[in-house]
Amino acid sequence: MLMQKINFNLYHVPAVRPPGLEQLRELSQSMGLQCTDDDLSVYQEYVTGTLHSYDRISRLVGPSLPVKYARTPGYRPSLEENTLNGWYWKCDIKGAGQGKLAGKTVGIKDSVAVAGVPMVNGSKLLEGYMPEFDATVVTRILDAGGNIVGKTNCEDLCCSGSSFTNVTGPTLNPHDRSRSSGGSSSGSAALVAAKEIDMAIGGDQGGSIRIPASWCGIVGLKPTFGLVPYTGACPIEITIDHLGPMAKTVYDCALLLEVIAGPDGDNDSRQPRNYQVPEYTKVLSTDMKGKKIAMITEGFTCCKQNVQDIVRNTALQLATKDAIVEEVSIPLHKDGVTIWAPIITEGGFNCIYKENGTGCHWKGFYPLSIQESLTRGFNLRPDDASDMFKAMMLFAAFIQKNYQNKFYSMAQNLNMMLTAAYNKVLEEYDVLLMPTIPFVAIDLPKMGCTLKDRLYSGIGMVANTAPFNSTGHPAISINAGTSPEGLPVGMMIVGRHFDETSVLQIAYAYEQLLNS
């Protein structure tokens, strides 16, 4: 018996329904176009013909990211198993039997996709989403023998420098549970500090690796922009997104960087194509002879006096190991956070809200399932967005309605000047040095606090961290000491683009000096 051939075209629903004349008339009026009905009829015919391309695209099967290692979905940990609220989800994904990360337990920030494991990026808007792909950094960790043991809590859409906006509640600082652990990579830092995991992946758009590293007393590195592929992670703004390593020691931070760094082919066009990743762990050294360190005046004067004193004394200890430590002024550093603000505010609004959570105008792999899930969340319950993101939405929408792209463009132009100002000093010095955060970990907002309290608790700590997201320089936070309250104080070391080696060497030298 012959099987009847079915013409599936008869049953195919168009990917995009053609616009009606009334829809085109409304669009024409809203954009100030003076189209007649006769004009609109011609445009309707033309547009309908163009839609064949969209229909064809909807039928073609695009590429995906590989999922190479077996896993089960894991489980949501109980309160007894999650005393710091650092975990969003627990799992147990074992990678290759051997490699640089063999025996290491790794947490993955919940803004980074792990196939088959629930992911919310800290937000109610993504509840129910489960990625079908592994982010590139996840595959690289598993290929290197790492054991991924869970998704670490992060702030709602990663839009906070404190640790209280997550859909599951605040992540607590292991040194003082009444205080913030920092954000947005809050769970990654808290769990590393508490020794529940060896290392973790963090994300950083304004300090989100370095803030929690500073306040929890661990090591956190924001690499050079483009060194680590961002493929498969939720962005905020394409020009300032970074993924990076967080660990208890500089050595482990360097080890994880070795594994996750390097080009990702056509998946991420923000990366250099032929960059060879150094073996960072093999160049770590305590030899500081001839190393030149610039303490940036403006990076100190924005800080509380006790933080200034601790970091300055720590930096001067490096001089006892034959490093040259000098104070240098970069006046434009004071405007660094000002330059960053329109980029993250308007760029973040466009990327997350207007462009479906993945941005546009860049070449690479677009995680369509994240787009679909976040769009559904915004359509169904937009008021579930965090206070911080609502503030971004309202302000950015106001600016763009009245000034279009003017201030974003001005900020990106000024960012070239800021980058040049740092580079000029880095021509003479190996690294720049300053406190990571102007003050120690703040108290978590109390139950019933005002909206004003919540907003100002979420973003006021980025004066030194945010500028280097705009400029893309590598920046590491290491613990410089302890405040009188017993809280960690971070010291930030910043290097030339793609000179993570110098940054890690000087951080390692200080770490060994501290432990000697």
Give the residue numbers marked as catalytic: 109, 184, 208
Contacts (Cβ under 8 Å, ≥6 apart) of 121: 110, 111, 154, 156, 157, 158, 234
Q: Compute CA 230 distance to the chain's CA centroid, rounded to the nearest angstrom.
A: 9
**What are the DSSP calls for 88-148, one per residue?**
EEEEEEE--SSSTTTT-EEEEETTB--TTS---TT-GGGTT---SS--HHHHHHHHTT-EE
Alpha helices for 351-405 (secondary structure H): 368-380, 387-403
Exposed/middle/buried for residue 435 (C-beta within 10 Å: 0-12, 13-18, 19+)? buried
User: Residue 453 is encoded by which pair of tokens?
Assistant: 């309290």
Q: How far apart are CA 366 and CA 232, in angstroms?
A: 8
Q: Which of 113, 65, 69 is nearest to 89 (CA)?
A: 113
Q: Which of 185, 223, 228, 7 is nearest to 86 (CA)?
A: 185
d(CA 222, CA 421): 19
Choose among 246, 167, 235: nearest CA to 211. 246
Amino acid at site 441: A
d(CA 184, CA 2): 61
N-term to C-term CA, the chain: 84
**Whether 488 contacts 479, CB under 8 Å:** yes
